[in-house]
Amino acid sequence: MSRKLPLAEGETSRTACARGLLRTAVDERTGELLPAAVLAERVGWAADLVSGMVTALTGEHWSTADVDVLAAGEDAGGRKLPSNAWMALRRLGWTVTAPEGIKINDRIVRMAQEQAGRSLRSAKWRTNLVAGVLAAWPADPAKRTAEEWDQVRAAVPGGQHLPSSVIKSRTRQAVAFERKHGRLPVDVFELEPAPRVARMLLLSACDGQQATMERAGEPGRALLRLQLPTRPDPRTYADWTWVACPISLPPTIPTGAVLHLPTLRVSGGRVRADLAYTHAVPKTASTGHTIALGVDWGLNTLLSAGAARLHDDGRITALGHGAQFRASGVLAKQHRLRRLSECLHAKADHYQRLIDGHAPDPALADKHAVLVEEFRRVSARRSNLNDALAWAAARWAVDQAIAAGASVIYQEDLRSMEAKGMGRTHNTRMSQTVRGQIADRMRHLAAETGIAVVTVPARNTSKHCPQCLTPLRHRKAPDRPTVAGWKWAICPDRYGCGWQGDRDHGAWRRIAARGLTHQTKTVTDRTSGTVVIRSVVGTLEAKAVVTPTTNTSRDRSKTGPTRHQTTRPAPRRRRAPSPTAPSGPAGKRPEGHAPTDRTRLPRAAHRHQSMTTISTPTTGHRPRGAALGAGFHLHAHATPPRWAESVPDTTSVMGSLS
């Protein structure tokens, strides 16, 4: 199969990854069918051999000198190091051997060197960060002054655009080390131990003598062939055999995509495969955008988004009123799982202290093992819930951009946001929002359709009016304009602007307008590869206002006498008779709209009263809204329709009419 991807004009290649599963395999030497458990065992034996060599190689070179040599990009002769980690380590002479008596081929060593080289290369950024923080150590680590912030940012490479939360976390880490040892750490290698090694097989570092990946005859199928050991301690090359593993490709992998060798991991007794592939996608542009989608972050209202258009004369208008992605239910469940995991972790620590301080007790050890396993399961549930929420929110945002015809998505940069002063529970929930995962998933999905995702500064996006940039007054609700709050925003310039609306809806207007006016300042971050607008320019920010659109509806001015209306108040229920029903239990007929004969409606009657409003049962659970006479509630149960109930046959028991 050709590894070269044909590209048309306006297209570019993109490498992505999808999840796969190896369900079965065939041993090509014996023709034996290997079930999932046996395949996972043999992959685990190979992963154990690789992880052991990775641990030895990483621990040997876990130092500042070796990491600096690898990051310099040149060998002893001044030649440039290859981009592949395993080739760079071999050029430097950093080799590793298998344990005594174990027979492996050179490709297994390649995978170990590739994994170790990636870990050592990633440590360079942490080395520079910790060195800069220690060089500009503040007088009070808990609170830096403005001058001390400038000093630490100047000492860290690229520190001008580094989130303050990253610098604070490293400072707290160094403070904990000082509290324990009575001095500051020398470098990151004293502050952190060598990273843990994952049990996986990086087949991308191999060639055809170890593994091959080809598409099968039918679409959506591929065949992975690789060499695996037949015993945990292979003594000769005869203990390695070729294994053929059929793979069902996920539907997210295009038919014309080029497949690469995957990464294999053993999880839960099954072999997981990270399937890498390269396919053609439309090119994204950093400038020249006329329609943009602005995305604002929230807590219960996780995302608020809307589209804006940049006209030829420089005006910016909003396309519609925007939409919101609410995730209060999912976040509440996440909060409950977090509380449960904290409780389990505290109980497990208590049992561990009892075990360490007393004679060995099998009962305590068994209880501790049960708690540790339950904690692992709850953590897995939290991780899966976060992952599902991130994909759903990102998919929603990209769909909004596609529907509006936008070529760019502007999102605010909240990497430095810290929740404080809003209560312990609210601060924790805000800190654990999956904003980073949503942003990554959004870039992944938007790249498939040629939509750029650009990060803009978040300063004053919710503070200033989107139409006149006047500082807003935040109130509790639109019907309570004198009660201070944070949800509803009102522009104090009542005669000049007079805009008012949801705080988040005003924020996405500001984000979209800021991105459209500053799109010439778009740059690509070298460290992360993301597209960002780093700073706000005053002259451009003055133009980042949303011009209100004129009302195109028909003129409703009074042109004649008012039609006579009866003085009889509107009835509570409609006067039309109920339809006939068979004998037996039947559902209540709907009440219809909220009553109009009241001067003041109940609280819950303001929520989306429409023709679908239903009555509430008088027995059993009565929610608060229904108790106040509002009718529909999120937890109200409608009576079943008549077609869903079996109508009793009354004619079968009737006698003769004669």
Strands of 500-502's sheet in order across: 480-484, 473-477, 488-490, 500-502
Task: With cut-offs at 50, 70 and 90, classify the pLDDT of residue 608.
Answer: very low
| 450 pLDDT above the threshold of 60 | yes
Topology of the domain covering 291-328+387-541: Nucleotidyltransferase; domain 5 (3.30.420)
Tens of pLDDT, residues 554-571: 666 667 788 787 776 655
pTM value > 0.75: yes
| 201 pLDDT above the threshold of 90 | yes
Supply the pLDDT for residue 419.
Answer: 55
Tens of pLDDT, residues 121-147: 999 999 999 999 999 999 999 889 999
Task: Identify the CA nearest to 189 among candidates 60, 79, 72, 38.
Answer: 60
| 16 pLDDT above the threshold of 80 | yes
Supply the pLDDT for residue 654.
Answer: 44
DSSP state at residue 547: P
| 179 pLDDT above the threshold of 60 | yes
Angle between helices 64-72 and 85-92 (to 10 degrees): 110
More confident residue, 529 or 643: 529
Rounded to whole angstroms, the Cα distance separating 521 from 634 reads: 46
Q: Which of 67-81, 250-264, 359-373, 539-553 has the lowest mean pLDDT?
A: 539-553
Average pLDDT, rounded, for the chain: 83
Output 69-75 pairs: Cβ under 8 A, ≥24 positions apart: 70/117, 70/120, 70/121, 70/124, 71/121, 71/124
Between strands 408-413 and 452-457, the pairing is: parallel
Rounded to whole angstroms, the Cα distance separating 471 from 565 reads: 45
Q: What is the mean predicted confidence (pLDDT) over 442-465? A: 91
Angle between helices 146-155 and 106-135 (to 10 degrees): 150
Rounded to whole angstroms, the Cα distance separating 177 from 190 reads: 9
Supply the pLDDT for residue 7.
Answer: 85
- The listed range with the strongest mean pLDDT (32-46, 210-224, 564-578) is 32-46
Rounded to whole angstroms, the Cα distance separating 87 from 122 reads: 16
Rounded to whole angstroms, the Cα distance separating 203 from 111 reads: 7
Q: What is the mean predicted confidence (pLDDT) over 236-264? A: 93
Longest Cα–Cα distance of the chain, Å, equals 117
| 582 pLDDT above the threshold of 80 | no
* Residue located via tokens 């052991």: 52
Task: Identify the CA nearest to 393 among candidates 512, 275, 303.
Answer: 303
Helix (H, G, I), strand (E, B) or coil at 242: strand
Supply the pLDDT for residue 41.
Answer: 95
Judge whether 196 and 223 are in contact, CB under 8 Å: no
Determine the distance from the C-alpha atom of residue 654 to the mean position of all C-alpha atoms in its chain, rounded to a whole number: 66
Q: What is the mean predicted confidence (pLDDT) over 494-500? A: 80
Helix (H, G, I), strand (E, B) or coil at 424: helix
- Indicate the helix (H) or strand (E) that contains 180: helix 164-181
Q: What is the mean predicted confidence (pLDDT) over 4-23? A: 89
More confident residue, 392 or 651: 392
Supply the pLDDT for residue 300.
Answer: 66
Task: With cut-offs at 50, 70 and 90, classify the pLDDT of residue 165.
Answer: confident
| 162 pLDDT above the threshold of 90 | no
Q: What is the mean predicted confidence (pLDDT) over 492-518? A: 89
Q: What is the dihedral of CA 265, 267, 272, 274, to 10 degrees?
A: -60
DSSP helix, strand, coil percent of the chain (3-state; round to 5):
35, 20, 45
Rounded to whole angstroms, the Cα distance separating 539 from 544 reads: 9
Supply the pLDDT for residue 436.
Answer: 84
- Indicate the helix (H) or strand (E) that contains 392: helix 362-404
Strand extents, DSSP E, 130-183: none
More confident residue, 645 or 384: 384
Q: Which of 57-71, 294-308, 396-410 has the lowest mean pLDDT?
A: 294-308
Q: Where are the domains of the chain?
A: 11-40+202-281, 51-191, 291-328+387-541
- Indicate the helix (H) or strand (E) that contains 476: strand 473-477
Task: With cut-offs at 50, 70 and 90, classify the pLDDT of residue 592.
Answer: very low
Q: What is the mean predicted confidence (pLDDT) over 2-25? A: 86
Judge whether 103 and 163 are in contact, CB under 8 Å: no
Q: What is the mean predicted confidence (pLDDT) over 388-416? A: 91
Q: What is the mean predicted confidence (pLDDT) over 200-213? A: 93
Contacts of 530 (CB under 8 A, 6+ apart): 443, 453, 455, 524
The number of CA neighbours under 13 Å toward the Cβ of 318 is 23
